[in-house]
């Protein structure tokens, strides 16, 4: 059995850009399949992938500096359409004989672009004056021979160029960010007009392709899937179930770090929607014992990651003991950003150990099945919808695998978890009642267990803990902004938490974007 042929692929070459993933997403939004490769990959290897087009990302280096990442000229002579953005644009310029240096013409942020050739491939049908997002200190002062300059700004004479004959295009700005008002249109012009691609990639293709692959991989063995109630594992499980039906058993680990009502919800919603076999493991004592006395965030994360796998192994043994073929596979809801961040990117720093990637023990007894590892969250939601999962599952806000364990700043204890569960339930209830669930990406509720402050309640002195509300808006959790929630909703949450949750006498709002803050506090 063979899977469907690989779709036309656009390679996004990552020069250490903040936005390489965003570029890949925007290409997919244009319904063309894209993948990210590091700029250290030899050009021959890139071309061997037979890309339909190549996009060169931005990056922090200066093209003229020693040791700056470069590309073999062969890439531009191979007949593959190329679109350079910022550093990629500058690299294309210098490699092909143009001039780039530090002219003092720096631009950061919103900039007015003057389009001089609106009939060009990239700018056709876009206005002569448009807002674009710039972030550069170097500038191109002369385009390579054979290129037409198609746009400028008040400070840079060459802000875009094209060589239609060779299918080479470049812009100094960042068309991938929202603030570039016609960015998506320009990108689509490159893909459809420049590279001649057809917008036909859909998440539907992914389902057929993965179902075929998984059937082939699993054969007549069995698989388990860690099911958290979250979107990723629910969609992964539904996809694998479509492929191998009853050969799949889902395992939900109640590690005592879940929110109020979560276990019941998984049992009710997911089993009702899919009819999947579900094994619920009560592992609260095991996790809380392992976490006793630990307050360092990374240590907590590693302990939780390790205990998860041990529970899956135990479940595996129990399922095998029930008779039937070997349980050889572990299904995970790993997404593309997880994969890129844990090694694919160029020199990305390790900010937090995520329990399901990188944190897996060396002696893992399972082969992994990760059908979503090429997809972004919004695409996973689309796959879920196509698989017929209900909105309550597909549109759920993300909740981290380590659960409330990383929302208690300080040691994790049963009492503190119970307290936080109450506060979290109130916040969620009020946000839902106010109809705000779709407006926010997620709203962590955090207990500062080692902080106390003085309060007055019922004419008496209190010395209680603060609760932090962290509502954020985001597209993919890579960057986020704090949500401007209506004051009356915040007031209601604050009043209810301080009235209803013992030992909490203060509610504070986190108004930090990401960066510099992350979404979770630990």
Ligand X SMILES: Nc1ncnc2c1ncn2[C@@H]1O[C@H](COP(=O)(O)OP(=O)(O)OP(=O)(O)O)[C@@H](O)[C@H]1O
Catalytic residues: 86, 174, 176
- Whether 463 and 503 have beta carbons less than 8 Å apart is answered as no
> Which listed residue (16, 337, 400, 471) binds ligand X by CB under 6 A?
400
Q: Does residue 400 interact with ligand XMP by CB under 6 A?
A: yes
Determine whether the annotation assigns residue 204 to a binding site.
no
- Whether 13 and 88 have beta carbons less than 8 Å apart is answered as yes
Q: Given the complex with Mg ion, which of 187 and 240 has the nearer CB atom?
A: 240
- In angstroms, how far is the first alpha carbon of the chain from the final one? 45
Which residue sits closest to ligand X, CB atoms considered? Answer: 230
> Which partner in ligand X, Mg ion, ligand XMP, none is near 26 (CB below 5 to 8 A by kind)?
none
> Which partner in Mg ion, ligand X, ligand GLN, none is near 146 (CB below 5 to 8 A by kind)?
none
Q: Does residue 514 interact with ligand XMP by CB under 6 A?
A: yes
Sheet strands (E) in 370-417:
408-409
Q: Given the complex with ligand GLN, which of 346 and 473 has the nearer CB atom?
A: 346
> Which partner in ligand X, ligand XMP, ligand GLN, none is near 514 (CB below 5 to 8 A by kind)?
ligand XMP
The Cα 522–Cα 519 span in angstroms is 9
Which residue sits closest to Mg ion, CB atoms considered? Answer: 230
> Which partner in ligand X, ligand XMP, ligand GLN, none is near 332 (CB below 5 to 8 A by kind)?
ligand X
Q: Given the complex with Mg ion, which of 234 and 423 has the nearer CB atom?
A: 234
Q: State whether residue 222 is helix, strand or coil.
A: strand
In residues, how long is the chain?
522
Q: Does residue 58 interact with ligand GLN by CB under 6 A?
A: yes
Contact residues for 317 (Cβ-Cβ < 8 A; gap 6+)? none
- Cβ density class 304-343: b for 16+ within 10 Å, e for less: bbebbbebbbebbeebeeeeeeebbbbbbbbbbbbbbbbe
Sheet holding 367-369, edge to edge: 277-282, 248-254, 222-226, 327-331, 367-369
> Which listed residue (58, 81, 88, 230) binds ligand X by CB under 6 A?
230
Q: Does residue 226 interact with ligand X by CB under 6 A?
A: yes
The Cα 328–Cα 341 span in angstroms is 27
Determine whether the annotation assigns residue 233 to a binding site.
yes
- Whether 304 and 402 have beta carbons less than 8 Å apart is answered as yes
Q: Given the complex with ligand XMP, which of 75 and 224 has the nearer CB atom?
A: 224
Chain contacts with ligand XMP (rule: CB under 6 A)? 301, 352, 354-355, 398, 400-402, 442, 477, 514, 518-520
Chain contacts with ligand X (rule: CB under 6 A)? 226-228, 230-233, 251-253, 255, 332-333, 356, 396, 398-401
């Amino acid at each position: 059995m063979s899977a469907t042929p690989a779709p036309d692929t656009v390679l996004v070459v990552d020069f250490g850009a903040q936005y390489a993933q965003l570029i890949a997403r925007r290409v997919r939004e244009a319904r063309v399949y894209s993948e990210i490769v590091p700029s250290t990959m030899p050009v021959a290897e890139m071309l061997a992938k037979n890309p339909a087009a190549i996009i060169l990302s931005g990056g922090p280096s200066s093209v003229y500096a020693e040791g700056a990442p470069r590309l073999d000229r062969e890439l531009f002579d191979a007949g593959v359409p190329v679109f350079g953005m910022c550093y990629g644009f500058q690299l294309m310029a210098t490699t092909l004989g143009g001039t780039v240096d530090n002219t003092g013409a720096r631009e950061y942020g919103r900039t007015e672009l003057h389009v001089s050739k609106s009939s060009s491939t990239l700018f056709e049908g876009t206005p002569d004056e448009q807002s674009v997002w710039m972030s550069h200190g170097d500038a191109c002062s002369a385009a390579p021979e054979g290129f037409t300059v198609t746009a400028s700004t008040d400070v840079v004479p060459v802000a875009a160029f094209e060589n239609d004959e060779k299918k080479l295009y470049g812009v100094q700005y960042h068309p991938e960010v929202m603030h570039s008002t016609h960015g998506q249109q320009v990108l689509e012009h490159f893909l459809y007009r420049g590279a001649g691609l057809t917008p036909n990639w859909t998440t539907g293709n992914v389902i057929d392709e993965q179902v075929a692959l998984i059937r082939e991989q699993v054969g007549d063995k069995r698989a388990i899937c860690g099911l958290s109630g979250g979107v990723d594992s629910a969609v992964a499980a539904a996809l694998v179930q479509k492929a191998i039906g009853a050969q799949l058993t889902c395992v939900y680990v109640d590690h005592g770090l879940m929110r109020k009502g979560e276990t019941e919800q998984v049992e009710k919603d997911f089993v009702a929607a899919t009819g999947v076999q579900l094994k619920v493991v009560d592992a609260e004592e095991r996790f809380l014992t392992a976490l006793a006395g630990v307050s360092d965030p990374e240590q907590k994360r590693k302990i939780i990651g390790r205990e998860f796998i041990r529970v899956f192994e135990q479940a595996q043994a129990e399922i095998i003991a029930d008779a039937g073929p070997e349980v050889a596979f572990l299904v995970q809801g790993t997404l593309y950003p997880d994969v890129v961040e844990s090694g694919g990117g160029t020199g990305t720093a390790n900010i937090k150990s995520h329990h399901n990637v990188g944190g897996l023990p060396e002696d893992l007894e399972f082969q992994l099945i990760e059908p979503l590892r090429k997809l972004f969250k919004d695409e996973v939601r689309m796959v879920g919808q196509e698989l017929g999962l209900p909105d309550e599952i597909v549109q759920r806000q993300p909740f981290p695998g380590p659960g409330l364990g990383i929302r208690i700043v300080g040691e994790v204890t049963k009492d503190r978890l119970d307290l936080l569960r109450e506060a979290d339930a109130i916040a969620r209830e009020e946000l839902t009642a106010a109809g705000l669930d779709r407006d926010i990406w997620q709203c962590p509720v955090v207990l500062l267990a080692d902080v106390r402050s003085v309060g007055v309640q019922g004419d008496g002195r209190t010395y209680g803990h603060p609760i932090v509300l962290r509502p954020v808006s985001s597209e993919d959790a890579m960057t986020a902004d704090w949500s401007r929630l209506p004051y009356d909703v915040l007031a209601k949450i604050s009043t209810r938490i301080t009235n209803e949750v013992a030992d909490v006498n203060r509610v504070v709002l986190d108004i930090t974007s990401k960066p510099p803050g992350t979404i979770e506090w630990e």
